[in-house]
Amino acid sequence: MPTVREIQRATGDEPVTMLTAYDAPTAAIVDDAGIDVVLVGDSVGNAMLGYDSTLPVTLDQVASHTGAVARAVDDALVVADMPFLSYGTSEATSIENAGRLVKEAGANAVKLESGPHTVDLTERLVELGIPVMAHLGLTPQRVNQVGGYTQQGTTEDAAAEIRDLAEQHEAAGAFSLVLEHVPDEVAASVTEALDIPVIGIGAGSETDGQVLVVTDVLGLSESVPPFAEAFGDMRSEMEEAVAAYRDAVEDGSFP
């Protein structure tokens, strides 16, 4: 299993590979394929639970899915997302919720959608032994505030703020950073500025690794974001298998 320290030092070497997973069978496949980091993302809301955003996802739901993933993974580092309002309301509650994902659900680390408000929390969690992956750029939990899933860091001031926050979170002890949907040159600049790995999603090729949502990779999503790619067509294969089962039952060939 890659350790937090090994991921933390993975800059400029072989790229870090990271995929989401939300259930045991998928997590086992992702792990067997040699993916370095499995993220139990709050994207479970869109990908698996039928929500239009990540906002309705609860801590109980993330904990349940994290437990399923952690039980199925032997080698990859398991990172659990802290869902909307499970952190930031108070330090004590934030620590308790992050601790639950590690202590009870079996995550190796937690991911925070980051901002000025998470610098001190990151430092405190790390002090307590809870590794933190930061997340800047497009942060979907702020969809109502930013007005949609638009590219971030597109002005000089916005790009400078992302770089500054990235450096602050590195200084606070974050072992890696997810950087989502920013211009390639901004991602390259942040990657150059940090000693911890920057894992991009919609952030170009100059980062230290890449992360995608597994349903997008497998071709299960009805639509794929412009910065993602389907590497399979599991949706069509599943439709064909279900239709074949239906036909077999109806014509008596099964059982």
SS3 call for 193: helix
Residue pair 58/70 in contact (Cβ under 8 Å)? The answer is no
Amino acid at 139: T
Q: Which residues pair with 137 in a beta bridge?
A: 180
Whole-angstrom distance, CA of residue 245 vs CA of residue 236 = 14
Nearest to 180 by CA among 158, 197, 202, 161: 202
Choice among 156, 180, 229, 240 that is catalytic = 180
Phi/psi of residue 199, each to 5°? -110, 115
Q: Which residues have C-beta within 8 Å of that of residue 183, sequence separation ≥ 6? A: 151, 153, 154, 159, 204
Amino acid at 51: Y
Phi/psi of residue 10, each to 5°? -85, 65
Is residue 180 annotated as a catalytic residue, yes or no? yes
Residue pair 4/175 in contact (Cβ under 8 Å)? The answer is yes
Catalytic residues: 180
